[in-house]
Amino acid sequence: MTTLVFRALDQHVVSGLADHPAIEDDRGPLSYAQLLHESACVAGAINHLGVERGTAVSIDVPHGRELVIAVLACARVGAVPAPTADFKLIGVPPVLHTLDTEVAWDLLIRAGRAEPAPAPDRDPEGYEELMLSSYPAVLEPLIAGTTI
């Protein structure tokens, strides 16, 4: 079985939908390939800051491309959604708040380019259900290969 984030994003890129719009908003389209790149970069950066499988992360970002990227980045590293957590992504553009520091969104993307995070090889038991119940408006359209 493939992981949730692989089915929501990577699978579409490797199966020929790389240029298909994943997100369409007032800033224009963001393709599945671009979404993969951005979310993998953010995932790599948050992983270097201590977010890993099982880490609780609070995402307080209004609906939009940053929310989609944040959710996918967390799924790439296996972070779990939690209303209160030591790691918080807040605002637009989001800022990652940790116990020790705050890191701006553009810095997360740039820092993660050095080592973007791959999709995990497996999800922990119950992870897919947890993420789907927490972020259905993000994950369900992407799994279906449609545009948000």
Q: Give helix 127-134 / helix 136-143 axis angle, nearest 10°.
A: 110
Every domain of the chain and the residues it spans: 4-143
Q: Spell out the residues 6+ positions from residue 136 whose beta carbon is closer than 8 angstroms to its own.
A: none
CA dist 8 and 140 (Å) reads 8
Its pTM stands at 0.95
CA atoms of 50 and 31, how far apart (whole Å):
28
pLDDT in tens, 7-52: 999 999 999 999 999 999 999 999 999 999 999 999 999 999 999 9
- For 43-96, the pLDDT digits (tens) are 999 999 999 999 999 999 998 999 999 999 999 999 999 999 999 999 999 999
For position 49, what pLDDT does the model report?
Answer: 95
Q: Name the 3-class secondary structure at 111.
A: helix
The topology under which CATH files domain 4-143 is Rossmann fold (3.40.50)
Predicted confidence band of residue 2 (pLDDT cuts 50, 70, 90): confident
